[in-house]
């Protein structure tokens, strides 16, 4: 009899624990994170994930989303492999993910979004900037200023500086290296500028002498050269260009906002590029850097960290606005956010195709390895080049 | 006799299965090996699905798609020995074409507004699109194969890499069709477990059937020794072309499968990372076999997914193990290094998994093919050369050589090292082009024939340095020769059995040629020659390296075969006792020229011959031309 009572008590305790567990499970918000920790996307996904994790931890330390709903992360490495991405996003949905944060590129984001479309689970890319990636469905969101926004702000700046002709250097090998210069050209021509010529390169092309020779021989000479080339292509290009004695102004996309490019010295002195944000003294961004460094010992040296943090904030604001964790409700709420508060910059989804409208910073590299703030501007949605 | 030979060579006694049952046992073994490949894939997919539910099912889907792709890759690489990086191009074509044909029309109009009308609006099912995809793959393989098949070894590998780069570049540029470097999306995700597993099993069956087919044998023969294959009439280029077409078509379908698994992709999805991963899987498993391709994919998949579980961190016995990402890549890299170190031929060791024809499992199979009777005696004809000449860098290796060797007789061709004997054989068989002169057999102009056409004119040869198809079994070596002579399969098998029996190779029939002892290799090369039922055989040092007993045995067999079939033999050897014993007539060469010819006793007494062998100033009485000379090395 005594044994039976004890057994009943144990069973009751177990049932209670299970019920409590179920209650806890219902009171958490599960976010699946596809993060490439190796491969070509790792340089973007790793800092973005670090910033995201840091701010999620901060949110959880305050009781969770809006102080009430703890966030549980399911993090899976995609190895920058699209097949692996497809597999892990399905696993995360199986494990109850209510929101998916995908890699910083269009391919895995779109592949994932086609899978999350079935249940309308909101899906946001870490830092994908191709404007087309939200075309897959109404549940897909960007987080970083899109290529066309960056290009439009940069074109506006160039035109305001009195520059009237441009030479575009682009690579068809990626949507980013191709799209950025093309959007710039379109916006620049709309402002009255002229595209004098275009040169194509291949990713990881070791020698840019042919392109440099073509530009040097152009008559008339362009006022500015614009490229969305990244490393190691941009260093190879700028060295070849300056080595050939071509001193034409050079402008580029946010991918030039790296310590490596700034460390190239005199050849990049005066190069102007876009950026998602700038940690001006006293800004929320500067405060984020201090907090992150104090907690981790690492100084965030690019915008992916802070943008990752902003994604945590976007989720929090969308859940708050939805008043629910229902995927469709969160998706709808996210799409209606206007002037949401961000650390890198504020953001607006309302009235966009869910690539957030955010301020774009224009910065100039200095010859001593630093960068200086030039301007901060918001692209005009009415005149944005369309993907 | 067979068992005795097996014991003498150190190989295990393969039982008392009669030689006549060998073709049946080979077929049964092939079927069993195919079944093993199928069972491997099935078991892995079933285990994953049953043990891990939906989670395991997704791994199984990816694994099966990889099995299909790697088996397709292996159909070319394994059979030709050429590592291809170009199969990513086929996969790209398959994925994009199938995507275009199956995409919802409304989405297509939005995503691809400038798509050419020919490709627009089909909205087919995946199954309806598959034949068009396969045909496109075949057409592209045929178009590119003409160039790829001309090359071998590293050159061909580089060419396949070039093909991948070209197709990748075209896909990036064809923005109206592919969206360029932007993501191509909206492809129906139709590759579920049933489709992926079905495709993997089908590909395994097709690859296994191709490997054991006539063309598969030819390709593997040319892979192992192109010169020997050509001497049998097998055109290595054609075999590579056929393998490329079969493999390319399969890879195109595998690409469609992959595309329908992803749902969205870009040209980068089919570029080097994918191709390197698939080549690595193939090499880890074993490049030359279908079971190697299957095993490679299984091991890589299971290893990666097992390690992946630990990457995100876990709790073990109350201890929190932190997340350590990148372990999968490290684990796969270590596995590749380990395999290359411990098993250079891959996990399967270059052999198809499963029982061989000598397995006890098949010992009870009834005789299915009786050895063929001896062929009809060769018609009277003669191998004739007039004024045949060839120089290398100004040095005359063969100069104005004329001689005649009839069928029905053994003609010896002797001479000291560097006399030009092997060069002469190479000229007669078109391995070298002659600078001048003429060569005929039975009225046919040998020098006008292509290198692969000499065998069809009735002239076969062996090589001074053994040229066997090392990766093929003894039976396959001989069977390949009979098939290359145009015999139907059943007839070729009967002929192969006859020659194996004639040269006491029956007990070694399912041993790979590269594993044979030297004497057996020599006998196999002659048996392979005879399987073509030639009228004239050029034997280049058939007894070199043999001990006296083996030489005597070979002499007896050659004498018997020659007498029975009336075939003509042109016998080159440094063992002059051996040559004298067999030959009714001897031609002597020195420094590229014929210096004597006639009956053996006449030649032996010729001062010019004596001088050629032992030098000026010696007398004929000192010349012991009948003494075996077993210390000779390479000749020209």
B326 burial (CB, 10 Å; 0-12 / 13-18 / 19+) is middle
Residues of chain B with CATH 3.40.50.300: 405-431+443-622
Judge whether residue B286 has pLDDT over 90. Answer: yes
pLDDT digits 0-9 by tens, B548-571: 999 999 999 999 999 999 999 999
**Smallest Cα distance from B333 to chain A, Å:** 14
For range B304-332, the mean pLDDT:
78
pLDDT digits 0-9 by tens, B81-92: 999 999 999 999
- Whether A197 is covered by a domain: the verdict is yes
For range B279-293, the mean pLDDT:
95
More confident residue, B525 or B635: B525
ipTM: 0.77
Which of B70, B178, B182, B326 best tests the A interface by mutation, with the highest count of A CBs <10 A? B182
Judge whether residue B490 has pLDDT over 70. Answer: yes
Q: B405-431+443-622 falls under which CATH superfamily? A: P-loop containing nucleotide triphosphate hydrolases (3.40.50.300)
For range A9-26, the mean pLDDT:
40
For range B226-244, the mean pLDDT:
97
So what's the pLDDT on residue B498?
96
Judge whether residue A5 has pLDDT over 50. Answer: no
Q: Are A183 and A228 in the same domain?
A: yes
Q: Are A285 and A267 in the same domain?
A: no
More confident residue, A11 or A47: A47
Q: Are A38 and A139 in the same domain?
A: yes
For range A349-361, the mean pLDDT:
95
Listing DSSP states for A216-238 in one string gives HH-SSPPSEEEE---TTHHHHHH
Q: Are A271 and A375 in the same domain?
A: yes
Q: Are A89 and A163 in the same domain?
A: no
Average pLDDT taken over every residue of chain A? 90
Enumerate residues 6+ apart whose C-beta is below 8 A from B374: B498, B564, B565
Which of A107, A112, A142, A200 best tests the B interface by mutation, with the highest count of B CBs <10 A? A107
- Whether A174 is covered by a domain: the verdict is yes
Q: Are A219 and A368 in the same domain?
A: yes
Residue A97: pLDDT band with limits 50, 70, 90 = very high
Question: What's the CATH code of the domain at A70?
Answer: 3.40.50.2300
pLDDT digits 0-9 by tens, A53-78: 999 999 999 999 999 999 999 999 89
Q: Which two tokens stand for residue B557?
A: 């067999």
Which of A48, A114, A229, A230 best tests the B interface by mutation, with the highest count of B CBs <10 A? A114
How many CB atoms are closer than 10 A to CB B435? 15
Cβ separation B58–A76 shorter than 8 A:
no
Q: Are A107 and A156 in the same domain?
A: no
- Whether A5 is covered by a domain: the verdict is no
Judge whether residue A211 has pLDDT over 80. Answer: yes
Q: Are A56 and A30 in the same domain?
A: yes
Q: Which residue of A has its CA nearest to B174?
A: A172
So what's the pLDDT on residue B617?
53
Helix (H) or strand (E) holding A308: helix A303-322
So what's the pLDDT on residue A40?
81
The number of residues in chain A equals 387
Judge whether residue B16 has pLDDT over 80. Answer: no
**Smallest Cα distance from A91 to chain B, Å:** 6
pLDDT digits 0-9 by tens, B334-372: 888 888 889 989 999 889 999 999 899 998 888 888 999
Q: Are A137 and A29 in the same domain?
A: yes
Q: What is the DSSP letter of A206?
A: S
Contacts of A87 in chain B (CB under 8 A): 58-59, 62
| Range(s) of the domain holding residue A116 | 24-144+281-355
For range A357-362, the mean pLDDT:
96
So what's the pLDDT on residue A12?
41
Residue B138, φ and ψ in degrees, nearest 5 = -65, -45
Nearest-CA neighbor of B186 among B103, B257, B100, B254?
B103
**Distance of alpha carbon B380 from the chain centroid:** 35
Nearest-CA neighbor of A123 among A331, A343, A346, A316?
A331
Contacts of B166 in chain A (CB under 8 A): none
Give chain A's count of helices (H) and strands (E): 12, 14
So what's the pLDDT on residue A131?
87
CA pair distance B502, B8, nearest whole angstrom: 17
For range B496-517, the mean pLDDT:
94
Nearest-CA neighbor of A107 among A90, A130, A88?
A130
Q: Are A371 and A238 in the same domain?
A: yes
Residue B82, φ and ψ in degrees, nearest 5 = -105, 120
- Whether A196 is covered by a domain: the verdict is yes
pLDDT digits 0-9 by tens, B368-411: 889 999 999 999 999 999 999 999 988 999 999 999 999 999 99
Q: Are A243 and A369 in the same domain?
A: yes
For range B294-304, the mean pLDDT:
93
Judge whether residue A10 has pLDDT over 50. Answer: no
Judge whether residue A191 has pLDDT over 90. Answer: yes
- Whether A171 is covered by a domain: the verdict is yes
So what's the pLDDT on residue A203?
85
Cβ separation A114–B329 shorter than 8 A:
no
**Smallest Cα distance from A94 to chain B, Å:** 8
Alpha helices in B85-174 (DSSP H): 87-102, 105-111, 126-148, 153-173
CA pair distance B267, B271, nearest whole angstrom: 7
- Whether A319 is covered by a domain: the verdict is yes
So what's the pLDDT on residue B625?
47
- Whether A18 is covered by a domain: the verdict is no
Average pLDDT taken over every residue of chain B? 91
Domain count, chain A: 2
Enumerate residues 6+ apart whose C-beta is below 8 A from B364: none
Contacts of A80 in chain B (CB under 8 A): 273
- Whether A1 is covered by a domain: the verdict is no
Residues of A with CB under 8 A from a CB of B: 35, 37-39, 74-77, 79-83, 86-87, 90-91, 94, 106-107, 110-111, 114-115, 130, 132-133, 135-136, 172-175, 177-179
Output helix, strand, coil percentages for chain B, rounded to the nearest 5: 60, 10, 30
pLDDT digits 0-9 by tens, B28-64: 999 999 999 999 999 999 999 999 999 999 999 999 9
Residue B534: pLDDT band with limits 50, 70, 90 = very high
So what's the pLDDT on residue B629?
42
Contacts of B182 in chain A (CB under 8 A): 106, 130, 132, 175, 179
Contacts of A173 in chain B (CB under 8 A): 172, 181, 268
**Smallest Cα distance from B512 to chain A, Å:** 39
So what's the pLDDT on residue B209?
98
Nearest-CA neighbor of B570 among B554, B560, B584, B557?
B584
So what's the pLDDT on residue B265?
94
SS3 B179: coil
So what's the pLDDT on residue B616?
59
Q: Are A130 and A161 in the same domain?
A: no
pLDDT digits 0-9 by tens, B178-234: 998 888 999 999 999 999 999 999 999 999 999 999 999 999 999 999 999 999 999
CA pair distance B419, A292, nearest whole angstrom: 84
Low-confidence winner among A123-137, A209-223, B195-209 (lowest mean pLDDT): A123-137
Residue A364: pLDDT band with limits 50, 70, 90 = very high
In chain B, what percentage of residues exceed pLDDT 90?
Answer: 78
pLDDT digits 0-9 by tens, B576-595: 899 999 999 999 999 999 99
So what's the pLDDT on residue B17?
64
Residue B628: pLDDT band with limits 50, 70, 90 = very low
A354 neighbors A138 (Cβ within 8 angstroms): yes
């Amino acid at each position: 009899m005594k044994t039976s009572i004890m057994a009943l008590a144990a069973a009751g305790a177990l049932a209670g624990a299970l019920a409590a567990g179920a209650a806890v499970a219902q009171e958490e918000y599960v976010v699946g994170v596809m993060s490439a920790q190796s491969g070509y996307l790792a340089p973007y996904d790793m800092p973005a994930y670090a910033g995201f994790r840091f701010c999620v931890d901060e949110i959880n330390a305050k009781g969770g989303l809006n102080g009430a709903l703890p966030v549980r992360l399911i993090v899976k490495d995609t190895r920058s492999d699209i097949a692996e991405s497809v597999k892990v996003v399905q696993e995360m949905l199986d494990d109850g993910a209510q929101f998916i944060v995908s890699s910083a590129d269009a391919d895995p984001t779109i592949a994932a979004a086609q899978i999350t479309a079935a249940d309308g689970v909101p899906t946001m890319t870490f830092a994908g900037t191709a404007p087309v990636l939200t075309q897959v469905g109404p549940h897909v969101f960007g987080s970083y200023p899109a290529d066309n926004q960056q290009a439009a702000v940069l074109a506006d700046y160039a035109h305001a500086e009195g520059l009237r002709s441009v030479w575009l250097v682009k690579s068809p090998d990626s949507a980013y290296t191709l799209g950025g210069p093309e959007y710039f050209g379109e916006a620049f021509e709309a402002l009255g500028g002229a595209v004098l010529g275009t040169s194509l390169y291949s990713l990881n092309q070791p020698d840019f002498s042919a392109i440099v020779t073509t530009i040097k021989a152009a008559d008339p000479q362009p006022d500015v050269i614009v490229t969305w080339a990244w490393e190691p292509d941009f260093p190879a290009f700028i060295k070849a260009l300056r080595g050939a004695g071509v001193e034409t102004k050079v402008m580029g996309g946010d991918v030039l906002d790296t310590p490596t490019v700034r460390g190239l010295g005199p050849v990049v002195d005066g190069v102007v590029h876009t950026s998602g944000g700038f940690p001006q003294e006293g800004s929320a961004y500067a405060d984020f850097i201090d907090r992150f460094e104090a907690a981790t010992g690492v100084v965030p040296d690019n915008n992916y960290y802070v943008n990752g943090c902003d994604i945590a904030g976007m989720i929090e604001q969308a859940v708050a606005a939805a008043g629910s964790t229902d995927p469709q409700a969160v998706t709808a709420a996210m799409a209606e956010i206007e002037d949401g508060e961000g650390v890198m910059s504020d953001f607006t989804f309302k009235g966009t195709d869910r690539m957030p409208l955010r301020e774009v910073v224009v910065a100039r590299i200095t010859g001593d390895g630093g960068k200086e703030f030039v301007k901060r501007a918001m692209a005009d949605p009415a005149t944005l080049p369309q993907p | 006799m067979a068992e005795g030979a097996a014991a003498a060579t150190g190989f295990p006694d393969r039982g008392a299965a009669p030689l006549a049952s060998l073709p049946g046992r080979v077929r049964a073994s092939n079927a069993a090996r195919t079944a093993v490949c199928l069972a491997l894939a099935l078991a892995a997919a079933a285990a994953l699905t049953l043990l891990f539910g939906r989670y395991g099912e997704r791994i199984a889907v990816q694994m099966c798609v990889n099995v299909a792709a790697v088996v397709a890759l292996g159909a070319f690489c394994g059979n030709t020995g050429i590592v291809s990086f170009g199969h990513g191009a086929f996969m790209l074509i398959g994925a994009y074409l199938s995507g275009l044909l199956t995409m919802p029309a409304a989405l297509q109009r939005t995503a691809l507004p400038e798509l050419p009308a020919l490709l627009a609006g089909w909205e087919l099912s995946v199954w309806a699109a598959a034949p068009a995809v396969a045909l496109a793959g075949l057409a592209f393989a045929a178009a590119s194969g003409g160039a790829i098949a001309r090359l071998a070894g590293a050159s061909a590998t580089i060419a396949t890499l070039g093909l991948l780069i070209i197709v990748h570049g075209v896909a990036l540029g064809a923005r109206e069709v592919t969206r360029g470097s932007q993501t191509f999306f909206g492809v129906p995700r139709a590759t579920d477990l049933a489709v992926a597993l079905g495709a993997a099993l089908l590909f395994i069956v097709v690859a296994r059937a191709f490997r054991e087919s006539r063309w598969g044998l030819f390709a593997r023969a040319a892979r192992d020794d192109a010169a020997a294959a050509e001497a049998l009439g097998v055109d290595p280029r054609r075999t590579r072309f056929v393998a490329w077409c079969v493999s390319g078509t399969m890879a195109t379908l595998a690409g469609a499968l992959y595309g329908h698994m992803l749902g969205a992709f870009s040209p980068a999805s089919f570029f080097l990372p994918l191709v390197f991963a698939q080549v690595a899987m193939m090499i880890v498993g074993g490049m030359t076999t279908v079971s190697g391709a299957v095993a490679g994919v299984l091991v890589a998949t299971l290893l990666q997914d097992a390690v992946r579980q630990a990457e995100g961190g876990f709790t073990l016995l109350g201890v929190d193990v932190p997340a350590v990402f990148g372990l999968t890549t490290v684990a796969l890299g270590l596995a590749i290094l380990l395999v290359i170190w411990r098993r250079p031929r891959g996990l399967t060791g270059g052999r198809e998994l499963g029982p061989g024809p000598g397995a006890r499992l098949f010992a009870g199979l009834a005789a299915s093919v009786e050895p063929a009777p001896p062929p009809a005696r060769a018609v009277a004809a003669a191998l004739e050369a007039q004024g045949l000449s060839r120089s290398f860098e100004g040095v005359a290796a063969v100069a104005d050589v004329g001689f005649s060797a009839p069928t029905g007789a053994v003609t010896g061709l002797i001479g000291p090292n560097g006399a030009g004997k092997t060069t002469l054989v190479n000229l007669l068989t078109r391995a070298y082009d002659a600078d001048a002169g003429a060569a005929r057999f039975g009225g046919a102009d040998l020098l006008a024939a292509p290198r692969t056409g000499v065998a069809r004119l009735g002239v076969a040869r062996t090589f001074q340095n053994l040229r066997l198809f090392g990766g093929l079994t003894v039976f396959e070596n001989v069977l390949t020769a009979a098939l290359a002579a145009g015999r139907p399969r059943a007839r070729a098998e009967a002929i192969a059995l006859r020659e194996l029996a004639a040269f006491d190779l029956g007990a070694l029939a399912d041993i790979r040629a590269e594993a044979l002892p030297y004497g057996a290799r020599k006998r196999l090369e002659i048996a392979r020659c005879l399987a073509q039922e030639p009228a004239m055989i050029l034997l280049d040092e058939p007894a070199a390296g043999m001990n006296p007993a083996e030489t005597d045995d070979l002499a007896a067999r050659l004498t018997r075969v020659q007498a029975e079939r009336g075939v003509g033999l042109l016998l080159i050897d440094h063992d002059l006792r051996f040559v004298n014993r067999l030959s009714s007539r001897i031609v002597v060469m020195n420094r590229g020229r014929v210096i004597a010819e006639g009956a053996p006793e006449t030649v032996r007494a010729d001062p010019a011959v004596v001088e050629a062998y032992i030098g000026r100033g010696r007398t004929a009485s000192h010349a012991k031309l009948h003494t075996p000379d077993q210390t000779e090395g390479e000749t020209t």
